[in-house]
């Protein structure tokens, strides 16, 4: 797409000013897509990025294990919970610090998308991947640096950790293991380990950390996967929602989705329900609005969109380089007696709706033949449109716009039948829905 747009920009440089003006007007939607294909906003979304620091012995294998969990953004090896010792590998491995209770522990800082993976799943992995009943050791790795420790960031994390530790202790008791020795403390400071320790097992395929897990596991409930096949064909709007309360999601629902009735369907998913969908937009913020064409991401906005922003993007996505887009967003005008007019002038009873929002605009009961070459009505559906002065081109007219999507519809004049107004409306920005009866 962008290569095509750049070729168009090169072509523009060879035009005169009049041609450039018309060209840019015609291809407005292309440029809108160029500059907004990934519109990420950090001001109007709920951030689902959280972190926790976990120590379970050698940090090499632990780091690799966390990175393989879907929803974990990053895992960084480091040192925490020490006093009077330098937070580096050389210092913590000195013999004099081997049994120093103030020695730093080898830990991993796990950063994750809480909308895609729950802390509960990460902590269960933590408990099941080492032996928390061992004190200041894991297997043959002996010393305070190898202690089992959890450093939480907030009280909600602590409550969850305490509950799972209690549940795991019961399981360990049943299996004949002793008391859990894991320390649980608030995080004070995390020190990133030396560069050569980061992704150590990726850099050193022959290196390893032993698997010292107990083999005691929680019962895992298998969830049926979400079927996303319907998102892989046709045009769809995918809204990434939050598992928990998200004020910006509620605002987007109230301002846009609750009244949206357009023909491009929307589907809501949380970040852990995207199996089979290949996205380049990050999914850690909600809401994230994505337009898919046959499963391919065409446009994505990370954060809240108001109705005007949403429908401008939807217009580019749905209408493309068409007369309808030019009418809707550039205040263009249909050709007289255009094909849409010919179709719509003699429909059965029904309503004409906004081509983007699907909201009712005009009723066939109020349609009449004005012989102007454009659809004509004596009135719109109550509350569906608004009007404003239009003094362009040396004329004094009254423009008519859709309240729901803010697209341009046409103009209203005072020369309708029997002293009524004449709403002169462009057919290309309408869709027709016949009465069910």
Catalytic hit among 209, 246, 249, 424: 424
In the numeric block, which tokens belong to residue 253?
Answer: 């629902």
DSSP of 67-111, one letter per residue?
HTSTTEEEEEEEEES-SSS-SSHHHHTSGGGTT-TTSPEEEEEEE
Selecting among 58, 209, 246, 249, the annotated active-site residue is 58
431 contacts 263 by C-beta, under 8 angstroms: yes
Contact 118, 138 (CB under 8 A): no
Partnered with residue 299 across adjacent β-strands are: 291
CA gap 147, 128 in Å, rounded: 15
Nearest to 410 by CA among 348, 346, 332, 344: 332
Residue whose tokens read 């950790």:
161
Tokens representing residue 165 in the block: 């530790």
DSSP 61: H
Phi, psi dihedral angles at 401 (to 5 degrees): -125, 155
What per-residue string of b and e applies to 328-344 under the rule 16 or more CB within 10 Å gives b?
A: bbebbbbeeebebbeeb
Within 10 Å of residue 19's Cβ, how many Cβ atoms? 12
58 is catalytic: yes
Residue 20: which of 38, 3, 8, 5 has the closest Cα?
A: 8
Distance CA 289, CA 302 (A): 6
> Does 338 qualify as catalytic in the annotation?
no
Closest to 357 in 3D by CA, of 303, 294, 313, 300: 313
Q: Which runs of consecutive H residues, i.e. helices, occur in 222-347?
A: 247-255, 307-319, 323-330, 339-344
Catalytic residues: 58, 424
């Amino acid at each position: 797409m962008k290569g095509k747009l750049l070729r168009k920009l090169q072509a523009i440089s060879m035009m005169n000013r009049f041609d450039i003006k018309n060209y840019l007007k015609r291809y407005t939607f292309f440029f809108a897509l160029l500059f907004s294909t990934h519109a990420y906003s950090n001001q109007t979304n709920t951030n689902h990025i959280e972190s926790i620091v976990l120590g379970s012995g050698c940090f090499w294998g632990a780091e690799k294990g966390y990175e393989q969990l879907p929803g974990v953004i990053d895992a960084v090896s480091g040192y925490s919970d020490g006093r009077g010792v330098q937070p580096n590998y050389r210092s913590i491995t000195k013999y004099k610090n081997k049994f120093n209770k103030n020695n730093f522990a080898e830990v991993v800082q796990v950063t994750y998308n809480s909308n895609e993976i729950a802390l509960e799943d990460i902590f269960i992995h933590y408990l099941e991947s080492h032996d928390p009943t061992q004190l200041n050791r894991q297997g043959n790795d002996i010393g305070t640096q190898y202690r089992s420790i959890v450093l939480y960031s907030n009280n909600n994390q602590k409550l969850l950790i305490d509950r799972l530790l209690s549940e795991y202790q019961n399981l360990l008791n049943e299996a004949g293991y002793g008391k859990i020795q894991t320390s649980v403390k608030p995080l004070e400071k995390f020190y990133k380990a030396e560069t050569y320790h980061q992704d150590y097992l990726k850099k050193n395929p022959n290196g390893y950390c032993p698997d010292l897990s107990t083999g005691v596991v929680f019962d895992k409930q298998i969830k049926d996967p979400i079927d996303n096949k319907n998102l892989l064909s046709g045009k769809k709007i995918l809204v990434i929602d939050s598992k928990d309360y998200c004020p910006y999601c509620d605002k987007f629902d109230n301002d846009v989705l609750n009244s949206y009735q357009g023909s491009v369907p929307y589907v809501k998913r949380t970040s852990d329900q995207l199996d089979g969908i290949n996205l380049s937009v990050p999914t850690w913020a909600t809401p994230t609005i994505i337009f898919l064409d046959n499963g391919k991401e065409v446009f994505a906005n990370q954060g809240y969109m108001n109705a005007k922003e949403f429908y401008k993007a939807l217009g580019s996505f749905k209408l493309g380089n068409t007369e309808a887009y030019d009418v809707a967003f550039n205040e263009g005008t249909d050709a007289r007696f255009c094909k849409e007019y010919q179709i719509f002038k003699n429909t059965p009873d029904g309503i004409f709706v906004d081509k983007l929002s699907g909201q009712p605009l005009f009723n066939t009961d109020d349609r009449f033949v004005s012989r102007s070459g454009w659809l004509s009505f004596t009135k719109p559906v109550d509350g569906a449109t608004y009007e404003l002065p239009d003094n362009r081109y040396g004329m004094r007219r009254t423009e008519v716009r859709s309240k729901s999507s803010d697209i341009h519809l046409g103009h209203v004049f005072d020369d309708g039948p029997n002293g009524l107004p004449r709403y002169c409306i462009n057919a290309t920005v309408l869709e027709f829905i016949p009465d069910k009866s």
